[in-house]
Amino acid sequence: MNKTTEKKQTSSFMNNMVKRPEFSILVILVVMITLTALLQKNFFSIKSIVRNINAFTPLILLTMGQAVVIIAGGIDLSAGPALSLLTCVLTFIMKEGSPVTGVYALVITFAAAVLLGIINGIGIGYLRIPPVIATFATSFMWLGTALFIRPTPGGETVNWFNAFYSFRSLENVPQVIRTIGDIIPPALVLVLLGCFFWYILSRTRTGRYIYAVGSSLESAYESGIDTALVQTSAYIINSVFIFLTALFFVGQNQSGDARLGDPLTLRAIAAAVVGGIALSGGKGSVFFAIVGALILSFVNKIIFFADIPYAFQTLVGGVIVIGAIASSRFYTIYNQKVRKKESSLI
Amino acid sequence: MNALTNRNNPAVKFYLKYKRIVIAFLLIIFLFILGEVTVSNFLSLGQILLTIKLASFIALFALCQMIVISAGGSGLDLSVGYTATITAVLTASVMDGQNSHLWIAILIALGIGIAVGFANGVLTAYLKLPPLVVTLAMANILQGAINVYTAGANITGKPSPVLRIIAAKSIGIFPNILFLLILVAVIVSLILTKTKLGVILFGTGANETTAYLSGINVKLVRCVAFIISGVLASVIGLLLIGNMGMAFKDMGSNYVMPSIAAAVVGGVSLMGGDGNYVGVILGAIFLQTLTNLLVAMGWGDAGKWLGFGIVLFVLLILYVSNRRSR
């Protein structure tokens, strides 16, 4: 292979990259990061990076879960209340000073998370209720149950549960481990765990079926896929991400709160859409959805550091969401036109 | 074949055509009887009228949802709550408790409604962005605008007496808003069943390709649906301030989700192309009765939400199984 063809290949690779709709989103992210770096002092210091990761983690995890469900052709309006319910269950089972109850809490809460996914999956997959309204109904069930367990925020945790947020307040561990926790935050481990989980799954048959079911339920059914089962597994996968988020929050707050997750539901959906997940299903990448979550998170940071009055925050946030999805849409339309022109020239 | 299974029997025909309305009506009666048995003094005329009065605001918001959902394209309007709120907040000081300034308030309401609806419509119908996210972001923008407006000064002002009379007062025991709701229901039903507009709206929602091939401008219809929704929401804002007697920051946001639920319970297909406003009103009354009953039983917040969720879920299962057997 001589040099010119090599050059051509890289340039065509660049061309392809630039032409993809995701490219505009990546540009937005880079702009956001640059702005934040300019506004926030010591943006690149380990301390502030760790702090940012901690602040971004819940939205990233929830967005990934939401992305899986949306790709499967659904949506989950009950994700926030499910998160609240899981924090309540965790803190309900744990008893302070008895480390083993933490293990029980982990196991039981994980089972509860899977159960929530199964209920959503049954409603949508087997009973064929439209996902928007089915998860809307279940969100009230989760909220009600969470309020039964914990009418007001509170509860107790075991000491080792703090490890899901920070190693600082752990008892009876050597200083080295605490230092490691300061450099590699547990939140990052949770996110990587989620990524690894989806990476493995996306290489299995279930992962491919999720895309197939999302892009056309009928065709998937005709080709012999158990569509209801696939939809149910998508909701269970989502539940696993919600479970990871609940671990983080309980580690951070050491309490359960029945209203904790409410504002996060629609933010996660918006983040997934900004990250290129089509609400019509079957399109997008779960990893790329993270970029959407990062953009929304950085927007908040910029608003905070740019000394924009607090009152403007929701306003600017809404404008940015519309701006981000509209710009990627414009970009796609523009590229289609260019491609048409090129093909007509040939 | 006996009379009950004969499809030509007028009673059976009526039932088959208005199945959901009949079911919703029976459910409401069932709830009231259940309430009377478990909680004393639940089934009284005053209680029923109070329920209807509370439900009428949900029903009015549900009209916005019904129009947007019927036009298809997985339409939903999450911005109605804050559209109503911003209208109420902005017009409060303009009206200042006088009738003479009501027309300015109405102009402001129309302006806000058209602007919000137009923005929603263009973004969703012409740019093909998902309505769920667009209207949510729009709600955030409006909420933000309200925050900015109220950050500088307190919300002052009172609604015009006319609005108080329409939304809060009653003739004898019948709340005036009930008459308004009946009027709206009649007008909407006539427009949707007797004029071409209904065919265009439902036709667009049922099958956009067919609608396009029959010469309907699908994008325009969807855009106009959002504009109508915005204007209605804005006018409801005037009624809300009339009912409450003042404006506050979150006065409309609690109606959004119930309005969608009422539309679905009332038989509006979320796929678009099907809907009946009388059914939607009954859906709203059903949800309000359910909420009242759960509160009256003294289960508190937890029981209220849990019961609400379970009943809604079960109802949806019944409805969907109906649809499948057809």
What single-letter DSSP state applies at residue B101?
G
Residue B6: which pLDDT band, with cuts at 50, 70 and 90?
low
A137 in contact with chain B, both atoms CB, cutoff 8 A: yes
Q: Report the range of poorest mean pLDDT among A29-43, A54-68, A136-150.
A: A29-43
Rounded to 5°, angle at Cα B182 from B181 and B188: 85
CB contact under 8 A, B260 and A311: no
What pLDDT is recorded for position B93? 85
Among residues of chain A, what percentage have pLDDT more than 90? Answer: 46
Per-domain boundaries in chain A: 47-262
B238 within 8 A of B124, measured Cβ to Cβ: no
Q: Are B304 and A144 an interchain contact pair (Cβ–Cβ within 8 Å)?
A: yes
Neighbours of B164 (CB within 10 A): 18
Within-domain flag for B299? no
Q: Give domain status of residue B277, yes or no.
A: no
Is B76 within a domain? Answer: yes
pLDDT of the residue at A119: 96
Over residues B6-16, mean pLDDT: 72
Q: Is the dihedral of CA B32, B38, B43, B46 positive or negative?
A: negative
Give which of A63, A75, A119, A141 to mutate to test B binding, by max B Cβ within 10 Å: A141
Whether B146 and B82 have beta carbons less than 8 Å apart is answered as yes
CB contact under 8 A, B305 and A128: no
| Element at B171 (helix H, strand E) | strand B170-171
pLDDT at B323: 52
Average pLDDT over residues B61-71: 94
Single-letter residue type at B27: L
**pLDDT band at residue B325 under the 50/70/90 scheme:** very low
Chain B residues within 8 A of A329 when measuring between CB atoms: 127-129
**In this model, does residue A181 exceed pLDDT 90?**
no
Q: Is residue B189 part of a domain?
A: yes
Please name which of B289, B288, B261, B136 lies closest in space to residue A129, comparing C-alpha atoms.
Answer: B261
- Residue type at position B132: L
| pLDDT at position B247 over 50 | yes
- pLDDT the model gives residue B237: 94
Among A140, A273, A278, the residue with its CB nearest the CB of B309 is A140
Q: Between B141, B261, B320, which is nearest A127 by CB?
A: B320
Q: What is the nearest CA distance from B295 to chain A, expressed in angstroms?
A: 13
**Is the residue at B124 inside a domain?**
yes
Reading the block at residue A158, the tokens are 């075991």
Spatial separation of the C-alpha atoms in residues B44 and A211, rounded to whole Å:
54
d(CA A311, CA B86): 15
Mean pLDDT of A31-36: 89
CA distance A148 to chain B (A): 5
Where does B195-255 have alpha helices with state H? 196-206, 208-213, 218-244
Contact by Cβ (8 Å): B225, B201: yes
CB A68 within 8 A of CB A280: no
Mean pLDDT of A315-335: 80
> Over 90: is that where the pLDDT of B122 sits?
yes
Question: Which chain A residues have a beta carbon less than 8 Å from that of B297?
Answer: none
Q: A314, B141: Cβ pair inside 8 Å?
A: yes
- DSSP label of A284: S
| pLDDT above 70 for B66 | yes
pLDDT category, A163, cuts 50, 70, 90?
confident
Q: What is the pLDDT of residues A199-211, one digit of tens each?
A: 999 999 999 999 9
Which residues are within 8 A (CB) of A32 and not within 5 positions of it... i.e. 6 or more apart? Answer: A294, A295, A298, A299, A302
Q: Which pLDDT score, from 0 to 100, does residue B230 have?
A: 96
**How many residues appear in chain A?**
346
Output DSSP code: residue A281: S
Residue A8 pLDDT? 56
The answer, yes or no, to whether residue B321 has pLDDT greater than 60, is no
Contact B309 A270 (CB under 8 A): no
The pLDDT, as a whole number, for residue A18 is 67
The answer to whether B285 and B55 have CB atoms below 8 angstroms apart is yes
The pLDDT score that the predictor gives to residue B174 is 86
- What is the pLDDT confidence band of residue B1, given thresholds at 50, 70 and 90? very low
A134 neighbourhood in chain B, CB within 8 Å: 313, 316
Asked if residues B94 and B216 have their Cβ atoms less than 8 Å apart, the reply is no
What is the reported pLDDT for A246? 96
ipTM reported for the complex, 2 dp: 0.81
Please check whether residue B258 is in contact with residue B57, taking contact to mean a CB–CB distance below 8 angstroms: no
- A74's enclosing H/E stretch is none
B123 and B222 Cβ atoms separated by less than 8 Å: no
From the list A148, A322, A329, the residue facing B302 with the nearest CB is: A148
Closest CA to B259 of B75, B69, B58: B58
> What pLDDT score does B3 carry?
57
Residues 259-278 on A with a CB inside 8 Å of B are 266, 269-270, 273, 278
Residue in chain A closest to B78 (alpha carbons) equals A266
Q: Which residues make Cβ contacts (< 8 Å) with residue B282, sequence separation at least 6?
A: B21, B24, B25, B28, B266
What is the model's pLDDT at position B326?
A: 34
pLDDT at A222: 92
B140 and A318 within 8 Å at the Cβ level: the answer is: yes
Residue B188: give the domain boundaries: 53-256
User: What angle is formed at CA A56 by the lines to CA A28 and CA B137, rounded to 5 degrees?
Assistant: 60
CB A81 within 8 A of CB A262: yes
Average pLDDT value over all residues in chain A: 87
Binning pLDDT at 50, 70 and 90, where does residue B5 land? low
Best of B155, B260, B299, B316 to disrupt the A interface (most A CBs within 10 Å) is: B316
Return the amino acid letter for B131: P
Residue B324's pLDDT band, with cuts at 50, 70 and 90, is very low
pLDDT per residue over A45-89, tens digit each? Answer: 888 888 889 999 999 999 999 999 999 999 998 999 999 999 999
Least confident interval from A284-293, A303-312, B22-31 = A303-312
What is the DSSP secondary-structure string of B21-50?
Answer: HHHHHHHHHHHHHHHHHHSTT-SSHHHHHH
- Residue B150 and residue B84 in contact, taking contact as beta carbons nearer than 8 Å: no
A308 touches chain B (CB under 8 A): no
Domain count for chain B = 1
The whole-number average pLDDT for the span B140-164 is: 85
